[in-house]
Structure 1
Amino acid sequence: MSQRLTRLALALTGTVLSGPLAAQVTTDAGTINPAQIERFFNQPGYSPYAGRSFPSRPLWGEQHLHTSWSPDAFAAGTRVGPDEALRYAKGEQIVSSTGQPVRLSRPYDWMVVADHSDSLGVITNVYDGEPALLADPVLKRWHDGMKEGGAAASAVVIEMITLQGQGKLPKAVTDKDTQFDMWRKMTEIVEGHDEPGRFSAIIGYEWTSNYGGGNNLHRNVIYRDGKAIADRVRPLTTFDTEIPNKLWDWMANFEETTGGRVLAVPHNGNLSNGLMFATETPDGKPIDAEWAAMRARFEPLYEVTQSKGTSEQHPSLAPSDEFANFEIWDKGNLNVVPKTPGMIQYEYAREALKRGLKLEGELGTNPFKFGLLGSTDDHTGISSAEENNFFGKFPASEPGPERSTANAFDFEGRTIKDWQLGASGLTAVWAAENTRASIWDAMKRKEVYGTTGPRIFVRFFGGWNFVPDDALGRNPGPVGYGKGVPMGADLPPAPDAAKAPTFLVAALKDPLSGNLDRIQVIKGWVDAEGGMQEKVYDVVWSGDRTPGADGKVPLVGDTVDVGRATWTNTIGAPELITVWTDPDFDPALKAFYYARVIEIPTPRWTAYDAAYFKDASFAPEVPMTVTERAYTSPIWYSPVS
């Protein structure tokens, strides 16, 4: 099967997978209606590309970058501000906080500068020694530590995070009027970089709840509109509240007050110590129908991968999934407070997606019906998701031989090493055009996917009538939208109760990265007894491999030369495409499906460091290769009641 359906020609322009794509088959941002396909796709003549008004390629970007306007970033030495960060995202070369020139391999299409709303931009005044601020002994200590740099500056960051999590930051840096004034200055900078059709500078901020002391419940708030709307309401801070449902109340009030639109993206849950997808609120109140409806309304997406680990699935929860071990951070929360048994199951996306199906039956709404995206969460002002261009989390972890042994986090001896940082990730949006509104609409309807860094093109459609020949064409878009729904949507009712759903999935390699090993479809469901189940299916793969007795396709191999930080694309395939039918479908059971695209192994950023910095000294346990991947947003199935 894989041999017949694998396409081996590589089209570097991306037209192989981009065809006439009706990503705007929608009556609003969240509803896709295949019956209205003729409204959006009309082929007027010979050219298969004429007459389209929908995406021809995914738009690549970053929704989670911090600059010197974030207090922890500035205290750690970041001097790259939002203006420089946006110029960098557009493809310009800039100078990092450690004085190194840096540039993206290819410009982004859009970016959100998501600096912390808490004390936005204020720490610069502490650093500059404003007398009124230095009258506070804590701020005087921070001033001295930042001026000294090194370990003293790192101690400032640790104390800042700790006091913020305890709600004990000095009042001088929590002033609401100052924060609102800095917000208006931020939106002015972002507004100046927005170029509809070429680059979308999207307004946003990070609401940074560290409930209970380092339990990461952070959210990025992303605006559909521009400065005129965004400036009408002061952004929420954790000085106002640390409870997520209070953030949703703020969002509802913002929309009612301004007529604008906002959504929130929860961060990687692996640092929440069991709170991100818990079935009670952080303050111990059971979730209810209203809570579920508000979360579903305002949080359509989830950050599945970033520099502080990947939160798709934990290997202990899916021991048969050999790819569930990617860049796992599971030692503790943001303050590296150790986990206790039972926490991990409430921190990973696949578990939450399954639990959402179960909660839907109890509450009437699935609160965890989210799409998947990737981000860096870099605090350098430099979005760096490329292994050979990785500039770390903070300035202290920018390129240099010392990061081979240094600590990225150190809370009273509880450490995370720099080498454990991942060069991840990116978000691809299937938007009709490169504008704020179009990108936001695609996010709202979940027609997005995340990668761990490479720009892999991925299409994923679900329906009831895909046939093998649908995978033989060069443009899966028209047939995908014509016969089904894209990633992020719900399957329409089955035309025949005996039918199983079919899926058209296609991937094209990043021309600067590794070939593709395989595409998998991951299914989750709730069985008749209420148990949460999952299964990983290899649906198409490269080469002549055949599944073993356990049904698994053998690993593709490894061509990495670690010493030289090189590899050869002599294994794998440049593109893969297939139609897959669920062989285990039960029409009575709710389910979700998402695609995971796996690359062949390539050098990790640590290998590039070891090859470049001859005096770097990595310990034997440091990984030197990486198996990059992409995660699509799911497609959901519900039986007709």
Structure 2
Amino acid sequence: MKLRVTTFVSTILLLGASSVAIAQDAPTGEDAATVLKGRPYSPNADRGFPDQVLFGDTHVHSALSADAGGGGTSLMPRDMYRFARGEQVNSNTGQPVKLSRPFDFYMLTEHTDGMGVITDIMKGAPNIMADAQGKAFHEAFAKGGEDAKQASIDLIAQFSQGTLSEALLYQPGSAGYDNTWRDLVHAAEEFNDPHRFTTMIAYEWTSLTEGNNLHRNVIFRDGPERALQVVPFLMAPPAGSPNPRDLWKWMQNYEDTTGGDVLAIPHNPNLSNGIMFALNDTFRDGEAFDPEYLKTRSTWERLVEINQTKGTSEAHPMLSPADDFADYELWDWSNLDLSAPKTPEMLATEYVRETLKNGLAMGAENGTNPFKLGFVGGSDIHTGLTTQDDNNFFGAFAWMEPSPKRAASEAKANTELDIGYKGWQYATPGPTAVWATSNTRAAIFDAMERREVYSTTGPRITLRFFGGYDFSAEDIKTRDLARVGYSKGIPMGGDLVASDGASPNFLVYAMRDPVGANLDRIQIVKGWVDQQGETQEKVYDVVWSDARQQGDDGKLPPVGNTVDLAGPTWTNDIGTAELGTVWTDPDFDAAQHAFYYARVIEIPTPRWPAYDAVRFGVEMPAEVKLITQERAYSSPIWHTPDE
């Protein structure tokens, strides 16, 4: 089993937190070196620890994914890379579109199953037209509009229910499949520009069980010399399997045979109907997880996609009724293809905070926590255009590109089960932020593997989160927080071991997006296992803006609202540009397994349908949410008792 966790011991030794006294007559040359005791005078020299925050997308599709290309997406991988690095392109509906700022890194994750088939369906290749399903799909996609949209929905449903024709399930070894994979790898290599714009080789393992989403995004650390030694692992037999155990075997074999490195990120779990983080093995008739499963899952899956365009999976009001911010961009009505309704008992094994708590309990019981997960974002956009700003949102699918009707349009429905949702319920997706030593494949991958990553719901908020036992209130005053954080503690994604019963303290700092909204507050979310073996949670407001006072109930009053929907716009007259503090857990118990993560909340701002209402001059239905409070989530820090 692999495990690459980069440490910075040498740097910490060189860059300790204590200051160095300098004589009034500053020495030079060898005398200066003696006074500095091996540390460079320049605070930026020989840093070693991650000092670059990089923003990117870890989950996005081009026209080569069947549910994208069939539904009207025409942008191909090279178009996407040009757009992501900052160039203006024409959208799938012919509208000019450009990002306000380029991405630092990008990962194109085409669906594994049927890779290459949509190209043949669209052009009506002979083998497609000879198949009844293939011909029907070709004719529907060729009509465009609502026919193509419905055909793309039908394609997903038939694949997820196992009724898609074998002729449309291209397998490795076929020219269509192999050529598509090879071209995807070559396109990533063409646009990879280390230290400026990094493209990672990746794919989306498209596991579905009766419509329940078990997808994983598989990310390579490597270039084409290793990635082209393999083809992606599929869901459909005979080359694939829907069981994640088999994906992990594929990953192990890849590393063993190529010497490369790979990781898997579970898809936003809110469309799995409780299967993604089930507490038993659903592929073995619900039997208990064996030790090998627990160890293997914790090795290969160190991250989870906590939010994307299909909603946020951090928390749910039914699971966290005391959390005033849990009701945020929820998709809690069904599974991926709307074939089965969501029931309340499914939520506990879908939402990430509850999953982290379940992992603590499992780790306390058997020594291995299979759900020790850092947080990433990911757009899951199927237009080829990752647009994360509310004033520049080009939708999740081609039918959702800007138009007067898109917000109120029906996105998908199952009339028999009375389940459905509208276009406005898609969210602007957030980026993955990584703390890396450089903008390169290796550095970005290593940051992800050690979980020194965080997610936002769109804005490029800067967030630092460290845990330790020696932070003081004075530490937050330094302008070199990273040096203090790494020298006195461990960063997000790391582990704290009990220290003689001492309560840990946490250094947390956030700065607003330079072109975005002010910050309302920073919270620390704690989960733990109590003495009776039950899981618990609490959300602490640790620092906030505008000199507000907590009430007798411990609640902090709302920050206010400056949104003007006639603009739409807002002002930064409330909130603050940066927040930071050193917080000590007042309820700490050294005998308890626990986790802590930071959640940063912005002041209210207009949501994307508010811009549609003004620009197209349309009145939105009352149900449409027009105001949001964007946020960021750090990866957790775990506390393990010293047993």
Q: Smaller-chain TM-score range?
A: over 0.9
Counterpart residue number, 1:490: 495
Please give the secondary structure, in 2, of the residue aligned with 1:569: coil
Of 183, 186, 207 in structure 2, the residue corresponding to residue 185 of structure 1 is 183
Larger Rg belongs to: 2
Q: Is residue 259 from structure 1 mapped to residue 262 from structure 2 by the alignment?
A: no
The residue type equivalent to 2:233 in the other structure is L
Contact 2:3 2:299 (C-alpha < 8 Å) held by counterparts: no
- 1:605 Cα deviation after fit: 0.3
Where does residue 323 of structure 2 map in the other structure?
321
What are the superposed Cα offsets for residues 432-486 of structure 1, whole Å, 9 maximum, x if unpaired? Answer: 1111011000000000000000000000000001000001111210000010000
Question: What one-letter code is carried by the residue in structure 1 that aligns with 2:586?
Answer: P
What SS is found at the alignment partner of 2:496? coil
Partner SS for 1:507 = strand
Q: Tell me, in whole angstroms, the C-alpha distance in 2 between the residues paired with 1:638 and 1:430.
A: 24
Amino acid at match of 1:598: I
Range 70-79 or range 398-407, more displaced: 398-407
- The letter for the 2-side match of 1:477 is A
Where in structure 2 are the equivalents of 1:297-446 lying within 5 Å?
Answer: 297-336=299-338, 337-412=340-415, 414-446=419-451
The answer to whether the aligner puts 1:462 opposite 2:467 as a matched pair is: yes
Q: After superposition, what is the alpha-carbon deviation per residue over 1:535-556, rounded to whole angstroms, capped at 9, x for unaligned?
A: 0000000011011111121110
Q: Indicate which of 184, 192, 195 corresponds to 2:193.
A: 195
Confirm or deny: 8 A CA contact 1:463 1:502 kept in the other structure.
yes
Q: 1:43 to 1:300 in 2, by over 3 A?
A: farther
User: Does the 8 Å contact 2:52/2:437 carry over to 1?
Assistant: no
**Cα deviations by residue, 1:273-297 (Å, 9 ceiling, x for unpaired):** 0111101223234322111111110
Aligned to 1:10: none
How much has 1:117 moved relative to structure 2?
1.0
User: 1:452 aligned to 2:457?
Assistant: yes
2:439 maps to amino acid: N
- CA shift at 1:166, angstroms? 2.3
The answer as to whether partners of 1:462 and 1:486 remain within 8 angstroms in 2 is: yes
Task: Give 3-state SS (helix, strand or coil) of 1:513's partner.
Answer: coil
* Alignment-derived partner of residue 222 in structure 1: 219
Deviations 1:322-379 (A, max 9, x none): 0001101101111122112310111101000000011112332100001011111100
> What's the TM-score, normalizing by structure 2?
0.93
Are the aligned partners of 1:64 and 1:377 in contact in 2 as well (CA < 8 Å)?
Answer: yes
TM-score by length of 1: 0.93
Aligned match of 1:592? 595
Alignment partner of 1:156 out of 151, 157, 160: 151
Name the SS for the 1:466 alignment partner: coil
Is the partner of 2:413 in helix, strand or coil? strand
Whole-Å separation in 1 of the counterparts to 2:429 and 2:639:
30
Whether 1:504 and 2:510 are equivalent positions in the alignment is: no
Are the aligned partners of 2:77 and 2:187 in contact in 1 as well (CA < 8 Å)?
yes
Cα distance in 2 between the residues matched to 1:253 and 1:286:
26
The aligned amino acid for 1:625 is I
Q: Distance in 1 between matches of 2:610 and 2:438?
A: 38
Q: Residues 520, 573 of structure 1: CA spacing in aligned structure 2 closer, same or farther, 3 A cutoff?
A: same
Alignment of structure 1 residues 41-60 onto 2, 5 Å: 44-60=39-55
In the alignment, residue 272 of structure 1 is paired with which amino acid? S
Cα deviation code 1:361-418 (max 9, x no counterpart): 2332100001011111100000111111111110101111010221222345632100
Match for residue 279 of structure 2? 279
Q: Which amino acid aligns with 1:448?
A: V
- Aligned-pair identity (%): 50
Partners of 1:161 and 1:535 in 2: CA distance? 39
Deviation at 1:425, TM superposition (A): 1.1
Unaligned runs of at least 5 residues, structure 1: 1-26
Q: Shift of the alpha carbon at 1:128?
A: 0.5
The one-letter amino acid of 2:297's match is R
Partner SS state of residue 589, structure 2: coil
Out of 116, 125, 129, which is 1:121 matched to? Answer: 116
Contact 1:43 1:50 in 2 (8 A): no
Contact 1:296–1:366 under 8 Å retained in 2: yes
3-state SS of 1:177 partner: coil
2:539 alignment partner, SS class? strand
- 3-state SS, counterpart of residue 564 of structure 1: coil
Structure 1 Cα separation of the partners of residues 48 and 540 of structure 2: 34
Tell me, yes or no, if structure 1 residue 80 matches structure 2 residue 85: no
User: What do the CA deviations read for 1:492-537 (whole angstroms, capped 9, x no partner)?
Assistant: 441x32x100000000000221100000000000001010000000
Contact 1:268–1:303 under 8 Å retained in 2: yes
Give, in angstroms, the shift of residue 272 of structure 1: 0.5
Measure, in 1, the Cα distance between the counterparts of 2:435 and 2:233.
29
CA distance in 1 between counterparts of 2:634 and 2:344 reads 30
- Alignment partner for residue 614 of structure 2, among 586, 611, 625? 611
Counterpart code for 1:610? A
Query: Are 1:502 and 1:579, in contact at CA under 8 Å, matched by a contact in 2?
Result: yes
Q: Distance in 2 between the 1:34 and 1:490 partners? A: 15
Mapped partners of 2:368, 2:80: distance in 1: 39
Q: Which has the higher contact order (CA 8 A, sep 6+)?
A: 1
Which whole-Å CA distance do the structure 1 matches of 2:45 and 2:259 have between them? 35
Among candidates 562, 570, 574, match of residue 571 of structure 1: 574
Superposition deviation, residue 563 in structure 1: 1.8
Contact 1:34 1:484 in 2 (8 A): no
Q: Which residue of 2 aligns with 1:30?
A: 5
Is the partner of 1:409 in helix, strand or coil? strand
SS at match of 2:178: helix
> What do you get for the CA RMSD once the two structures are aligned?
1.6
C-alpha distance in structure 1 between counterparts of 2:6 and 2:228, whole Å: 29
1:543 partner amino acid:
D
CA contact (8 A) 1:34 1:485 kept: no
Q: Evaluate the alpha carbon distance shift between residue 160 and residue 570 of structure 1 in structure 2; reply closer, same or farther with a 3 A threshold.
A: same
What amino acid is aligned across from residue 223 of structure 2 in structure 1? G
Distance 1:305-1:43 versus aligned 2 partners, 3 A rule: farther
Note closer, same or farther for the CA distance 1:92–1:43 as it changes in structure 2 (3 Å cut). farther
1:252–1:202 CA distance, 2 compared to 1 (3 A)? same
How far apart are the structure 1 equivalents of 2:106 and 2:281? 31
3-state SS, counterpart of residue 563 of structure 1: coil
SS of match in other structure, 2:566: helix
Give the secondary-structure state (helix, strand or coil) at the position aligned to 2:633.
Answer: strand
Measure, in 1, the Cα distance between the counterparts of 2:405 and 2:116. 29
Secondary structure of 2:436 counterpart = coil
- For this pair of structures, how many residues does the alignment match? 611
User: Which residue of 1 is the match for residue 19 of structure 2?
Assistant: none
In 2, Cα distance between equivalents of 1:272 and 1:320: 25
Which residue of structure 1 aligns with residue 604 of structure 2?
Answer: 601
2:395 partner letter: G
Deviations 1:303-326 (A, max 9, x none): 001110100000111111000011
Instruction: Give, in whole Å, the separation in 2 of the partners of 1:255 and 1:621.
Output: 50
**Deviates further, 45-54 or 248-257:** 45-54
Partners in 2 of 1:355 and 1:388 — Cα distance?
38
The separation in 2 between residues aligned to 1:281 and 1:93, in whole angstroms, is 47
Give the C-alpha shift of residue 31 in structure 1.
5.5
CA contact (8 A) 2:160 2:337 kept: no
Unaligned runs of at least 5 residues, structure 2: 17-36
* Cα distance in structure 1, aligned partners of 2:152 and 2:292: 37
Partner SS for 2:345: coil
Report the secondary structure of 2:455's partner residue: strand
Distance 1:562 1:225 in 2: 47
Partner Cα distance (2:197, 2:519) in 1: 29
Question: Is 1:243 matched with 2:243?
Answer: yes
Whole-angstrom distance in 2 between the partners of 1:637 and 1:111 = 33
Q: Is the 8 A contact 1:463 1:492 kept in 2?
A: no
Aligned residue among 76, 95, 111 for 2:90: 95
Instruction: Report how far residue 171 of structure 1 moved.
Output: 2.1
Q: Which amino acid aligns with 2:519?
A: L
